[in-house]
Amino acid sequence: MESSRKPIMVNLILSATLLNMASAETLVVFDRPAVKFYESSPLGNGRLGAMVFGDPANGRIVLNESSVWSGGPQDSDREDAHKALPQIQKFLLAGENKKAQELLQKNFLAKGPGSSYGASKDGPFGCYQQFGVLNFTPANPSFSGYRRVLDLANAVSTTTFQRAGCRWEETTFVSAPDQVVVHRLTADKPGQISGEFQLSRDENARTEARGDALVLTGQLKSGTTSPGVKFGGLAKVINKGGSVDSSGNTIKVHGADEVTVIFSAGTDMFGSKFMDEASRRVAQAHKKPIGDLLKRSTTSHRKFYDRCVLTLPKSGNSAGPTVGRMAKNQDVADPGLSELLFNFGRYLMISSSRPDSQLPSNLQGIWAEELLTPWNGDFHININVQMNYWPAEITGLGDCHSPLLKFIQRLVPNGRKTARAYYNADGWVAHVITNPWLFTSPGEGAEWGSTITGGAWLCQHLFDHYAYSGDKKYLEQVYPTLKEAAIFFSQTMIRDPKTGWLVTAPSNSPENAYRDKNGDVLFTCMGPTIDREIVFELWSNVISAAKVLGKDSDLVEKLTAQRNQLSPIQVGKHGQVMEWLEDYDEPEVTHRHVSMLYGLYPGDQISQATPDLYKAARRTLERRGPDGTGWSLAWKVAFYARLGDGEMCAKILQRLLRPTGSTGYNMSNGGGTYANLFGAHPPFQIDSNFGVTAAIAEMLVRREGDTVYLLPALPKAWAASGSVKGLKLRGGITVDINWVNGEVTSHRFLGKGTNRLKVIKPTAK
């Protein structure tokens, strides 16, 4: 089984790249092996994921494939739910919200178990799961002089250590062009590598060694009568020098100079030939010299990664393991960490959502160690999956947005059924949660399940991709999805007789409770502010799209008239932007969702052009406080960027970068960052990584109409000198900015129509 391939100096290639990159913040550094998942190094190609624990004594790589999902298509619409609708609406119009909520809970939520409150490993909703684990147990487990580096620019993890008088190196990458995970072990003296490889999974799978490959196959539970997802993969163990033999589910290596493992996997979610395909991928990769494999992988990654470059001032604390820097940054600002976090978010997007990925990134991107991943590792659409894609357009990764954009369009047929069953309406609707089985029904709990604007919020992404790219052919293609979402609201919103305003009913303001006039703590309501903001934006986008495409003038007229009748965004008794139609108080003032500020970010209905609301937005944030879960903190950085408050951005960024090891569910204020820079809700949830990357971009540039604000929220700690290249503005414009002492020293726009832009720079303080 000895490989005849020539050894290639991967180490040299890597060292050269590391030297080149020495000045940029592109390295996540560890001085110890990972014990926990959140200390490991994530790698991915938009489908296959690997979490490298880098433990020389007990090698562990958690492997993922983005369609390893249990569950299956679920009949979750209550066909006669619409019969309860008039009565629920009557109760709401009469101010009897408690009765409305009770009736909604009884007759207007998902049929069946829905998402089983986030525990659907074996249920029909299903859950995103680990593929399996590759282990390597070395014959000699001793080691010293440990270092592990995740190189974000090249998408490679390298672990180095000393053992038995040799320098050892483990290199791992996940290639997009070759669709394989490559893991290579070397020592600088021959014959050193001995040990055992295993590929395993705790349930629903079996592994056997076939020749020099470990083959794992299995099938997940569907929770329905239809068959669950079948999955499989293989890890081929290739030795140079020494020998390899196998028994049972183990491959043993004896005295090798070098060992390379090539892994690929798939599922039958998108095609039945996944196992043949995985074997073919491994065989083809095996034919290529490892240097070529690495080069193809990094070249492909850098095509995306190099589009945008941020440089922030360096502090004296930038050396050493990243987690140590995070701790020091709690006392002394280390702006480079924000630069690193920005780069990490872009890295994660390229690694979890490539233009040809079949699924959008989920609550954990594509990385999950569990079989029951928190909240099923699903696609939450009342902020989370949207936040995953906030950085896509602005940081120049608009093509990585496609998996979400395609997915939204795939929701439409089920969304139509749901619209008919619950609202007896045309168009399509999706509520709070969805999955690869395209779930669009309300969730199973009244407290959170009936937010009506999840799908409409997704439509912001469909339109934004056009707004940034100006691609009319694309707009033509997504227009029916936008239009049908708009029609759904056009038909289902009701008029509040007290005010004459059009409002959604029933709905809720994502997951937040209010106290009604009787002191009852409730969720079900009509016309929460976020719905108004989303519907206003959706209708505005459809009106613009129809005009651009020269279509549907009757619809344009209708939506324009209806848009004028929407409830306004109101200011309440605390000076805050009201979250509900009534000026209710919330039992949890610091609740993580700040839904009424959708209009500030990611929307644009609250801006300097609406001074009263702009002021009220600040007041809202003061009441909510500067703490929160990971994603809530990231959102707050974006809000303060829109408010032009760089110091608050810096303060919350610092809070978000607080090192944590907590994995228990904390729904209010546990947000922080794990040793590997993954966001902590806690538990791990990737949205804060993406959200904060977008928020950092918002601190540096904002386009409002034809006015472009350069460095609108630059904190003092970033002022000394810096630059950003390759940020994008709506209208297909690229912007580069250089600054010194907080003043713009030069900027450059590329693209059409830039002469129309009015530029506003920070004034010297």
Interface residues with ligand FUC (CB under 6 A)?
363, 375, 380, 384, 511, 592-593, 629, 631, 667, 681, 685
Tokens 């959708």 map to which residue?
598
Pick from 154, 126, 118: which is nearest to 228 by CA?
A: 126
Task: Tell me the residue ranges of DSSP E strands in 361-500.
Answer: 379-380, 433-434, 494-495
**CA–CA distances in Å: residue 18 to residues 289, 742, 746:** 21, 30, 29
Contact 443, 449 (CB under 8 A): yes
Residue length of the chain: 765
Query: Judged by CB, which is closer to ligand FUC: 129, or 492?
Result: 129
Residue whose pair of structure tokens reads 């990584």 in the numeric block = 689
CB nearer ligand FUC, residue 603 or residue 671: 671
CB 534 within 8 A of CB 598: yes
Asked if residues 105 and 414 have their Cβ atoms less than 8 Å apart, the reply is no
- Among 653, 741, 571, 553, residue whose Cα is nearest residue 337: 653
Structure tokens at 590: 């610091």
Helix (H, G, I), strand (E, B) or coil at 50: strand
CB-wise, 40 or 384, nearer to ligand FUC?
384
CB atoms within 10 A of CB 651: 16
Q: How far apart are CA 623 and CA 699, in angstroms?
A: 22
Please report how close the Cβ of residue 434 comes to ligand FUC at its closest, in angstroms.
Answer: 12
Shortest Å, Cβ 634 to ligand FUC: 11
Instruction: State the minimum distance, in angstroms, from the CB of residue 325 to ligand FUC.
Output: 27
Instruction: Name the residue nearer to ligand FUC (CB basis): 409 or 668.
Output: 668
Structure-derived torsion over alpha carbons of residues 381, 386, 388, 391, reported in degrees to the nearest 10:
180
Choice between 122 and 511, CB closer to ligand FUC: 511
Q: Taking the mean position of all CA atoms in its chain, how far away is CA 563?
A: 31
Structure tokens at 121: 């490993």
SS3 291: helix
* Separation CA 315–CA 335 (nearest Å): 7
Label each residue of 151-214 as H, E or C.
ECCCCEEEEEEEECCEEEEEEEEEECCCCEEEEEEEECCCCCEEEEEEEECCCCEEEEEECCEE
Nearer to ligand FUC, 523 or 631 (CB): 631
239: phi then psi, degrees, rounded to nearest 5: -105, 150
- What does the DSSP assignment read for 471-523? -HHHHHHHHHHHHHHHHHHHHH-EE-TTT--EE-SSB-STT--EE-TTS-EE-
CB of 137 to ligand FUC, least distance (A): 36
Q: Which amino acid is at 21?
A: M
Q: Which of 384, 312, 370 is nearest to 341 (CA)?
A: 312
Element containing residue 150 per DSSP (H, E): strand 144-151
Torsion of Cα atoms, 33 then 34 then 35 then 40, to 10°: -160
For residue 121, the SS3 value is: coil
Beta carbon of residue 168, minimum distance to ligand FUC (angstroms, whole number): 40
**Is 668 in contact with 590 (CB distance < 8 Å)?**
yes
423 near 504, Cβ under 8 Å?
A: no
Measured from the CB atom, is 443 or 731 closer to ligand FUC? Answer: 443
Tell me the closest approach of the beta carbon of residue 591 to ligand FUC, in angstroms: 9
DSSP 717: G
* DSSP bridge pairs for 2: 239
CB of 512: closest distance to ligand FUC in angstroms? Answer: 9
CB of 681 to ligand FUC, least distance (A): 6
Q: How far is the CB of 376 from ligand FUC (least distance, A)?
A: 9
Of 365 and 712, CB closest to ligand FUC? 365
Closer residue to ligand FUC in complex, CB, 325/593:
593
Strands 243-247 and 156-163, sheet pairing:
unpaired
Tell the residue number behind the tokens 């020749």, with chain if given: 211
Name which of 457 and 463 has its Cβ closer to ligand FUC. 457
Which residue of this chain has its Cβ atom nearest to ligand FUC in the complex?
375
CB closer to ligand FUC, 300 vs 666: 666
Q: Which of 174, 120, 164 is nearest to 143 (CA)?
A: 164
CB of 104 to ligand FUC, least distance (A): 18
Task: Select 628 or 722, whichever has its Cβ closest to ligand FUC.
Answer: 628
Q: Rounded to 5 degrees, what are φ and ψ at 52?
A: -90, 115
Q: Are 432 and 454 in contact (CB under 8 A)?
A: yes
Could you tell me what percentage of the chain is helix, strand and coil, using 3-state DSSP and rounding each to the nearest 5?
35, 25, 40
SS3 407: helix
Residue nearer to ligand FUC on the CB measure, 631 or 709: 631
Burial class (CB in 10 A: 0-12, 13-18, 19+), 332: exposed
When the beta carbons of 213 and 363 are compared against ligand FUC, the nearer one is 363
Q: Using the minimum distance from each CB to ligand FUC, give the nearer residue, 461 or 681.
A: 681
Nearer to ligand FUC, 129 or 384 (CB): 384
Question: Can you name the residues that pair with 196 across neighbouring β-strands?
Answer: 137, 252
Q: Which residues contact residue 693 at a Cβ distance below 8 angstroms, ignoring those fewer than 6 apart?
A: 341, 342, 344, 345, 346, 349, 390, 391, 395
Minimum Å gap between C-beta 291 and ligand FUC is 41
* Residue nearer to ligand FUC on the CB measure, 449 or 712: 449
Minimum CB distance to ligand FUC smaller for 9 or for 521? 521
